[in-house]
Amino acid sequence: MNARWWSSATLTGEGIYYAMRSGELLAESLLETSPESYAARVREEFGRDLTLGARLAPFFYRSDFFGQAVTTRTIQIARRSATFAQLLEDLIEGSQGYVGLVARFCRGLAVTLAETAQSFIREAFSTPLSART
């Protein structure tokens, strides 16, 4: 297990935090003269989150949602829903881990759909009739 594997287990590909934090965990293990405890420390700190990230990654990068790649749909929805954009921002910034991500998405789903629909309606009414196809 190394930080390169961890970065491939995240949706955003980030791995610098894991590389640096795992260095600290190794130093702590060595200072306590128990290098064998390193793997357990790493599993305890990142294991659950990154295992979930690794499970979500194929869905995120290799699946379709209503005829478009999930990545494309993600950007489209984030442009129309502030709630969804905030979720995405927190995920990229690191304050939202993979644990709890799906639950938060489900909790915000009704608002996300409402904001998306509202955005479409606003757009439709702000487009002059002559410009509509």
Ligand X SMILES: Cc1cc2nc3c(=O)[nH]c(=O)nc-3n(C[C@H](O)[C@H](O)[C@H](O)COP(=O)(O)OP(=O)(O)OC[C@H]3O[C@@H](n4cnc5c(N)ncnc54)[C@H](O)[C@@H]3O)c2cc1C
Q: Which residues bind ligand X (CB under 6 A)?
A: 2-4, 7, 13-17, 19
**Would you say 19 or 70 has its CB closer to ligand X?**
19
Of 94, 103, 96, nearest to 16 (Cα)? Answer: 94
| Separation CA 106–CA 82 (nearest Å) | 15
| DSSP character at residue 95 | S
In the complex, the smallest distance separating the C-beta of residue 2 from ligand X, rounded to whole angstroms, is 5
**Would you say 23 or 123 has its CB closer to ligand X?**
23
C-beta separation of 25 from 33 below 8 A: no
In the complex, the smallest distance separating the C-beta of residue 16 from ligand X, rounded to whole angstroms, is 3
In the complex, the smallest distance separating the C-beta of residue 113 from ligand X, rounded to whole angstroms, is 31
**Would you say 19 or 88 has its CB closer to ligand X?**
19
Exposure pattern of 14-23 as b/e (b: 16+ CB <10 Å)? ebeebeebbe
Nearest-CB residue to ligand X?
Answer: 15
| Separation CA 50–CA 7 (nearest Å) | 9
**Would you say 23 or 127 has its CB closer to ligand X?**
23
In the complex, the smallest distance separating the C-beta of residue 111 from ligand X, rounded to whole angstroms, is 30
